[in-house]
Every structure is written in C-alpha cells, then in structure tokens.
Chain A
Amino acid sequence: MAATAPTVAGTTATPVPPARRRRPKVGAYGLLVPASIIIGIALGYPLVRQFVISFQEFGLKQQFGAAPEWVGLQNYKDLLTDSYVWTVIARSVAFCLVNAVVTMAIGMSLAVLMQRVGRSARITLQVSLLLAWGTPVLASMTVWQWLFDTQNGLINWTLSNVLGIESMAQHSWIIEPLSFFFVATVIVVWMSVPFVAFSVYAGLLQVPTETMEAAQLDGASARQRFWGITIPMIRPVLSIVLLLQVIWDLKVFTQIYVLQRAGAPTRDTNLLGTLIYSYSKEFGLAGALATIMLVLTLALTGFYIRQMLKEDEL
C-alpha cells in the first residue's frame, strides 16, 4: 500500500469522477458544523449586524451608552447625496479596473513567457515571482516607500542622475493624487502578478498536447491555436483569477492606508476601504457605506459569478 501512495498523490491534478456518496447523511452535516459556526459568528453575524446598523444612528449620545436610534434610510441618503462619496466610489472602481486589467495582462504574458522559454530562464522567472509573492504586504510597503522616498529614494536618484531629469531630484511621489495612485498601482500590481502568472501557467500546463498537435496538423497558426484553443480551455482559471483580482482591488485598504500615513493628503486619496475606516466612530455611516461597497462588488462580479456557476458543476 505504501508503494502506491506516491503515485496516487501525483495524480491529484487529473480530474476524477465524483466519489460515490452513500454514507449516513447526518454525518455530513456534522462535519460542516464547526466551520459553519466559526464563519457564522465571525463573518455572517457581523455582516447581518452591519446591515442592521446601517439603518441606525450612532452619534455622540450613543458613545456614552444611549441605545442607537433607528433612522431608516437616512445614512444611505446622507452618503448618496454627498458628491464626495460618489467621487470616492468612482475613484475606487477606476482604480480597481485599472489594477485588475494591468495585473491580468502582465500576469498572463508572464505565464505564456514561462511556457515558451527554456528551463533555466523559466525557473529564474518563477523564483523571482515567488519571492515577490511571498513577501508580507507590510514589508513590501516599506521597501516601495523607501524606493520612492523623496530624499534618498533610488527611483528619484535614477530619474535625475541616470536619465538626467533634474526636476525629479527631490520629487515627492505621494502628494499629487494621480502620482499617489500610480505608486499604489505599481505596488499592487507587483504584489498581485505572481498569483495570476502561476495560476494561468498551471492552467496552460493542463491543455493537452494532443489537442494542440491535432490543431497544428490541421493547419492552425500559433496565433489561432492560442486564441482558439488555449484561451477557451483555460477560461475557468482565467475567470476565477480575474474575479479574485476585481474583488481584491476593489476593497484594497492596506496599501492606500499605509501610503496615506506616509504623508499623502487623505481626502484626495481615499478609496472605499479607507473611507469606511475613517467613519470608525460613526458606525451607522460605516455600515451603510460597507453595504454599498458589497452591492458594488456584486454588481461588478455578479454576471461573472453566474457564468461561472453555469459552467462549473460544483
């Protein structure tokens, strides 16, 4: 038995027909209980609660112990009539889409690159991406802040001393909103590309060579094979990865928060995550904005999730 073990472990990547399921049903529910309880109390309940408090007022009185007042849709009305909130929503969606698209484009290109190059080049690239992937987000944030540092940052030094752009010598990257978001995008993309590249590469490896050879014999060009066979075959992986990117980039918090703490003007650089955080004393508004963010996430991804569910048999 020990001898067969490794071979079976090696086949986990090949599809296996659904296991026969014929044991007592109560047992199955029992197995789900612990996970459901944890998710229920630490995610489900806060979610319901957030929804409830979004209809309540938490002011100064409540901080001193008074019961929250029901205010109906007032919080939503306050938020949605505030043009600043709309600015932040638009900014967040734009940031999310730009980051998701750039990350996907670079990640997919690198996955294809991995497939096309020799072994040593591929391993070099993979190790490098892994190092970036494995770096804790806060450590990445400190390095990038140091690279973009106004006084002694390497990027300013390169721009002014190597490329001769004198005006960049003492340039502050995070004061201007546009350049703030440029820096944030560089960091987010740098951190997210490895996941996309490896997932897509793993998907590419699952495309059967027989199919490609058959297409080749039938006269399909490399371009035709890529768009006509490879892409459709790895669609499930692409869908999941893109979906996760959109979700992650819409709720981005740490990178924005840390850059803001580095001295950027908060109001001009807030995204939804940091705006909610700034309402941490007004629970009602925070709850309402968080609910709006959830609806926005579903709006951006809902169509996609439906497509995925239709194709995936679960």
Chain B
Amino acid sequence: MSAVAAPTTLGVPADRPTRVAATRATDSGRSQTSTSRRVLGALAIVVAIAWVFPIYWMINSAFQPLNKLQAEDPTWLPLGGTVANFRQVIDDGTFWQAMRTSLAVVVLVLFAALIFAFLAALAVSRFRFKGRKSFILAILVVQMIPAEGLFISQYQVLDGWGLVNKVLGLALVYTAAILPFTIWMLRGFVAGVPIELEEAGMVDGLSRVGAFFRITFPLLAPGLVAAGVFGFLQAWNEYTLALVVMTDPEQRTLPLWLQSLVESNRATDWGVVMAGSAVIAIPVIAFFLLVQGRMTSGLVSGAVKG
C-alpha cells in the first residue's frame, strides 16, 4: 500500500507509463527522507544544546572559584571545582529568611487558588446558568490586564488594609493573579470527565456528593496536580509584585533575595550569584520536568472545549 501511496507524495502521477520512473523516484525519495530526518535530528540536537547552555553555564560557574571565573580563558567543566560558593549561600541567614517567606507565600497561594479555582471550574463546566458565558469571558479578559500597570493601585489597596510587607498581602495578590488561568485550565479537566460516570455511580447506590468524591474527584487529580504546579511556579518565581509589596528587606522572597545578592556581588563574584541562582532554580526545574506534560495538555484542552 505504501509503495502505491509514495509516488503520489512526490507528485508523480501513478499511471502505467511512468511506473518505473516513479518507483526509482520513490527509492531516492526514501533515502532522501531518511537523510533529511538525520539532518533535522542533528539540527534538533544542536538547538537543544544551545538552549540548555545557559543553565549548564550557571551550574558550571557555581562550582568555579573566583580566580578561575576571572581568568583569561573560561573553564568549561566543573571538574576539580569548589563548593565554597554554595556554602556561602547556605550559611547566609538572609537566604533562609527569604526561603521561609517564599514557602509561606507559596503554601497560602496554592491552598487558596486550588480550592477556589476548582469550585469555579466545577460551576462553569457542570452547570448551565445565567452569566456563565460572561464569567468565562471575564476570566479570559482578566488575564489581559497588564498586572505591571496595576501594581501601584494594588499596593495602595494592600496599604489601606495594613497588608504591605505581609505574607498574607502578597499571597492575596498572587492568588488573584493565578486564579483566572487556574480556572481556565481546570475547566478543561472537569469537562473531560463525563458526567455519565457519576450517574452510573449513583445508579449503583452512591449519593450525588459521594459519587462526585469517589468517582469524579480522583479522575481530576492529574488536573489538580498540574494546576498546583503552575501556581507553585508562579508564586515561587514572581518578582514584580514582590518588589512592590515586600519593601522591607526582612520580608524578601527568594527572587528579591537573589537580586540583592546580584547587586552586592556584581563584578566581584559571579560564582556566588550562580550558586544562589542554582539553589533557587534546581528544585523548580526538577519539579517542572516531572509534571509539565499535563500543563500543556491542560492549556490546550482548556482552550478547545467547553
């Protein structure tokens, strides 16, 4: 079958007189395809190396002592390196202070965002009610609001409630920022679980609530995990709002701490800065690798179905 289909691929009409020529063309076409596949494969590897290089360089530099970093020629491998840079980061009390603040913010944000987004996603995908479409439209439009334009009035609002420099204040603005996307994403997952399953459970004697928690909820677990990771990344990595809300150095989150580390070490010791970056980045990257597949499928499914 494929032998017949192949000539058409090459645009050669498959009628009798050209059959021989077509077959020959097919053969060269085959080898061309595999050559081009190999060339593309090599291209993919080159792109992969280029894209990952900055991260490699961060880790490599983090293990280099200062004299190697400032040497005439770069040192390409972290062989015979030092962990002194990491030790300097770990021994720094402000690092742990920032770590505590960041963790507190992340936990609060995840807790609030997941529960509230889940409830809202349930409402828009399991019920038909007046205003449903407007709500979906609203969460879409809310994501268009340039948060970078909003931070001054957000600061004022938090200031009015005494929430500036407070974990709760930062967690509040973060939760509001990630809720729309989280709802959008979970809506796709909830819609993906057919309600017939729940109904089957009810036929088998479960209550509506029981059917929901015993049948639908476990099926949504991957969606909740994906949404949770998304929220974690946002809250862990966010810089702008933290910069505006957490003006007190004692209340720094990790990104603010890293920036202050850069500013005090610029042109002096990039090794320590790279060690600090690596310490913040590596757990996130590891986490991200574990669950990202579900994140993209969540985005796409949220986008294509109701």
Contact = CB atoms under 8 A, between A and B. Distances in A.
B294 to A, nearest CB: 9
A246 to B, nearest CB: 10
A206 B259 CA distance: 41
A42 B192 contact: no
Given A131-B55, A294-B145, A314-B136, A21 B240 contact: no
Contacts of B54: 132, 140, 143-144, 147, 190
Interface string B105-146: 000000010011101101111111110110111011111111
B174 to A, nearest CB: 9
Interface string B215-254: 1001100110000000001001101100110000000001
Contacts of A203: 300
Nearest to B198: A19
Contacts of B103: none
B148 A23 contact: no
A98 to B, nearest CB: 18
B273 A146 contact: yes
Contacts of A32: 119-120, 123-124, 135
Contact of A287 (B152, B240, B284): B152
A254 B146 contact: no
Contacts of B51: 125, 128-129, 131-132, 190, 193-194
A221 B12 CA distance: 11
Given A261-B259, A262-B266, A12 B192 contact: yes
Interface stretch (A69-77, A81-89, A272-280): A272-280
Contacts of A286: 152
A97 B297 CA distance: 27
Contacts of A151: 70, 267
A129 B50 CA distance: 10
Using C-beta atoms within 8 Å of the partner chain, give the interface range for chain B: 35 or more
B5 A113 contact: no
A65 interface: no
Contacts of B301: 12-13
Given A1-B201, A142-B262, A143-B54, A135 B285 contact: yes
B152 A157 contact: no
A142 B218 CA distance: 41
Contact of A313 (B116, B254, B306): B306
Contacts of B122: 31
B150 A134 contact: no
Interface string A80-121: 000000000000000000000000000000100110111011
B57 interface: yes
A8 B194 contact: yes
B146 A247 contact: yes
Contacts of B278: 139
Interface in B44-87: 44-45, 47-49, 51-52, 54-55, 57-58, 61, 69-70, 73-74
Residue of B51, B117, B132 with highest tally of chain A CB at under 10 A: B51
A226 interface: no
A133 B73 CA distance: 29
Given A41-B172, A121-B44, A202-B300, A139 B58 contact: yes
B62 to A, nearest CB: 10
Contacts of A19: 125-126, 191, 194-195
Given A110-B47, A203-B300, A314-B136, A8 B201 contact: no
Nearest to B294: A12
Nearest to A273: B148
Interface in A117-173: 117-118, 120-122, 124-125, 127-140, 142-147, 149, 151-152, 154, 157, 161
B149 A113 contact: no
A83 to B, nearest CB: 21
A273 B142 CA distance: 18
Contacts of A181: none
B133 A38 contact: no
Nearest to A157: B74
Contact of A247 (B8, B74, B143, B152): B143
Contacts of A47: 145, 150, 153
Interface in A183-221: 190, 193-194, 198-199, 201-203, 206, 216-217, 219, 221
B95 interface: no
A113 B116 contact: no
A178 interface: no
Contact of B147 (A139, A251, A257): A251
Residue of A116, A161, A252, A262 with highest tally of chain B CB at under 10 A: A116
Contact of B119 (A8, A31, A110, A280): A31
B239 A254 contact: yes
Contacts of B297: 12-13, 202
B137 A34 contact: no
B157 A45 contact: yes
A43 B125 contact: no
18 contacts: A9-B219, A31-B127, A32-B119, A42-B154, A43-B150, A46-B150, A117-B40, A124-B45, A127-B289, A132-B55, A135-B284, A146-B274, A216-B5, A251-B147, A252-B148, A261-B263, A273-B148, A276-B151
Interface of A: 1, 4-5, 8-9, 11-16, 18-21, 23, 25, 27-29, 31-32, 34-36, 38-39, 41-43, 45-47, 49-50, 53, 110, 113-114, 116-118, 120-122, 124-125, 127-140, 142-147, 149, 151-152, 154, 157, 161, 190, 193-194, 198-199, 201-203, 206, 216-217, 219, 221-222, 236-237, 240, 244, 247, 250-254, 257-258, 261-262, 272-273, 276-277, 279-280, 283, 286-287, 289-291, 293-294, 297-298, 301, 305, 309, 312-314
